[in-house]
Amino acid sequence: MSTLTRPETDTVATTPGTLRGSARVLLRVHRKALWAAGGLLVIGIGIVVALRIWMASAKELCADGDITPCGGPVYQPSYARTSTEVFLGDGGTVLLLLAGLVGVFVAGPLIARELESGTFRLAWAQSVSPAHWLAARLAVPAALAVVGMTVLIAVYRWGLWALRGYPYSSLDHWYASGVFPGTGPALLGFTLLAVAVGALCAVLVRRALLSMSLTGLVLGVVALGLGKRRYELWPTDFRQNPGPVGLDSGDWAVDMGRLTESGRKLRWEDCHDYAADPLQDIEACWRELGAVAHFSEVHPASHYWPLQLVETGILLALAALAVFAAFRLLRRLHG
């Protein structure tokens, strides 16, 4: 009598224990959200391309974008150019909102919903550890979001490039809160922070709607805080002159006023009180206070990359802390 033995099978191939297998499951389960994200990416690219085509087809008579006779006393840009400036002027804010949306999705449908409904136990029962389960839900959206945001940054910069060098432009400068966040690596840092904060809020709260709300609140505070204090991330250039300090077109003037012999700074509000005297002579007041020169503290255009890199480093450090806290909390709650 012969004994029949069951052939051994490759357990690695059938058990979703690898990160690749978990990622494949996530992509299959959330394919509708993936298609929606791809649609937003295509729409964003299409808007910028359409604006560039519209602007290029406008009938401009002069190289500087004037639609009136060249060299005349009147300068008038085309409607296509001014409309493009309006649309792209807040492109950085739109990209921040998209990054925040990624974090909200991670917090709610991707993690908290499974913790709330208990479906996570199915994955954990199939040789997938809690840490492995969370790692897949961090790595997949982070990788996809970074790739998508990189494409959008490149397209947004390409759109802005067409508006460079034209006089009387209404487009905000490089340091504007609606432009700066969407033109460099700081957006990628914010995207990774959004994913990390979403995961931390989901593990902490374990309720989808509440996790999504908390994630949006935290990301909003971070974005507003950086926008308000961005000028402090890199030392400014100090300029002084007996007369008014001249500024280049790309300079970000953070502070300006007058200087005394001792180096004390005097500012506009030191010599102007509308409530006391709305017609006060500011020049006479400054002379009485001993002003001898003008000063300004400026971020020139060359400070763009230092500011971007410092902000990116801060965001990545916060993201790393959030990821560390999420794993520690998951381990504490579920072993």
**pLDDT tens across 227-265, in order?**
999 999 999 999 888 777 888 888 899 988 888 888 888
Question: Would you place residue 220 in the very low, low, confident or very high pLDDT band (cuts 50, 70, 90)?
Answer: very high
Q: Which amino acid is at 15?
A: T
> Are residues 197 and 112 in contact, defined by beta-carbon separation less than 8 angstroms?
no
Reduced 3-state DSSP string for 239-257: EEECCCCCCCCCCEEEEEE
pLDDT at 324 over 80: yes
Tokens found for residue 191: 């995207």
pTM above 0.75, yes or no: yes
pLDDT score of 126: 67
The maximal CA–CA distance of the chain, rounded, in angstroms, is 116
Question: Would you place residue 95 in the very low, low, confident or very high pLDDT band (cuts 50, 70, 90)?
Answer: very high
> Rounded mean pLDDT of 137-164?
92
The CA radius of gyration of the chain, in Å to the nearest whole number, is 27
Tokens found for residue 153: 């940054």
Nearest-10 Cα torsion for 263, 268, 274, 280: 70
| Displacement of CA 126 from its chain's centroid (Å) | 38
**Pairing verdict, β 237-241 and 265-266:** unpaired
Tokens 């908290």 found at? 112
SS3 content of the chain, % helix, strand, coil (to 5): 60, 10, 30
